[in-house]
């Protein structure tokens, strides 16, 4: 089997010639927490203030948002991050967004989404949520969606850098490592393998990695 990565060290190549621009392609894993936890708390506070008579719906939409993220995560990873462009420019963009992570899977500064990507995505999904669920119920739904995203980002970092003893987390780690080291066209779920089972992209568990 050909080697599917260049280096397993905690480092990777430059993506931009400019030091200033390249710095924005690297991010400490805690940065999304500083950005999105206040947003989640504000949305939940707003929801409690405005939906206090419908607490069941608040909780239900929040949980539905978390669940919905698992599908968003799968779709983005499979059809966007693993889309293979034909043009040279497209290939460069793909490498910047995801290819570099597969070549240097343990680079700790390129394991969570940079704000320049996550914030526009958040704005898009907030607008979409409002169009689908309306002004009131979009708030707890979107809070759940963002919470699901944070779980994904933190889990992605942990799967590459933490040594787990818990059986569930060990299985998630094996699932993701198979995606990196043996079957890159399978195991697209990071925080959950659910959609891999549904869409038939579960890797061969006998494969070595």
Q: What does the pLDDT look like over 173-182, one tens digit per residue?
A: 999 999 999 8
Whether 5 is covered by a domain: the verdict is no
Whether 193 is covered by a domain: the verdict is no
Torsion angle, CA of 123/147/158/77, rounded to 10 degrees?
Answer: -50
Whether 175 is covered by a domain: the verdict is no
Mean pLDDT of 157-162: 94
Whether 93 is covered by a domain: the verdict is yes
Whether 197 is covered by a domain: the verdict is no
Whether 60 is covered by a domain: the verdict is yes
User: What pLDDT is recorded for position 147?
Assistant: 98
**Domain residue limits at 83:** 32-161
Q: Does the pLDDT of residue 5 top 70, yes or no? A: yes
Mean pLDDT of 109-128: 94
Whether 58 is covered by a domain: the verdict is yes
User: What pLDDT is recorded for position 196?
Assistant: 96
Q: Does the pLDDT of residue 205 top 80, yes or no? A: no
**pTM: predicted TM-score of the whole model, two decimal places:** 0.92
Name the domain count of the chain: 1
Mean pLDDT of 108-118: 92
What would the pLDDT profile of 63-78 be if each residue is shown by its tens digit? 999 999 999 999 999 9
């Amino acid at each position: 089997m050909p080697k599917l990565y260049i280096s397993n060290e905690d480092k990777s190549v430059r993506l931009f010639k400019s030091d200033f621009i390249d710095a924005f392609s690297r991010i400490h894993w805690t940065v999304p927490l500083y950005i999105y936890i206040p947003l989640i708390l504000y949305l939940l506070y707003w929801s409690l203030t405005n939906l206090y008579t419908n607490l069941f719906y608040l909780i239900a939409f929040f949980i539905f948002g978390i669940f919905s993220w698992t599908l968003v995560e799968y779709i983005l990873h499979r059809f966007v991050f693993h889309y293979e462009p034909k043009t040279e420019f497209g290939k460069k963009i793909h490498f910047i967004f995801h290819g570099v992570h597969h070549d240097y899977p343990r680079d700790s500064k390129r394991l969570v989404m940079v704000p320049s990507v996550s914030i526009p995505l958040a704005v898009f999904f907030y607008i979409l949520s409002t169009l689908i669920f309306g002004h009131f119920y979009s708030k707890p739904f979107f809070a759940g969606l963002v919470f699901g995203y944070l779980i994904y980002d933190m889990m992605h970092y942990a799967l590459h850098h933490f040594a787990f003893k818990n059986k569930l987390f060990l299985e998630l780690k094996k699932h993701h490592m198979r995606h990196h080291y043996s079957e890159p066209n399978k195991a697209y779920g990071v925080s959950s393998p659910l959609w891999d089972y549904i869409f038939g992209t579960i890797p061969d568990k006998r494969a070595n990695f």
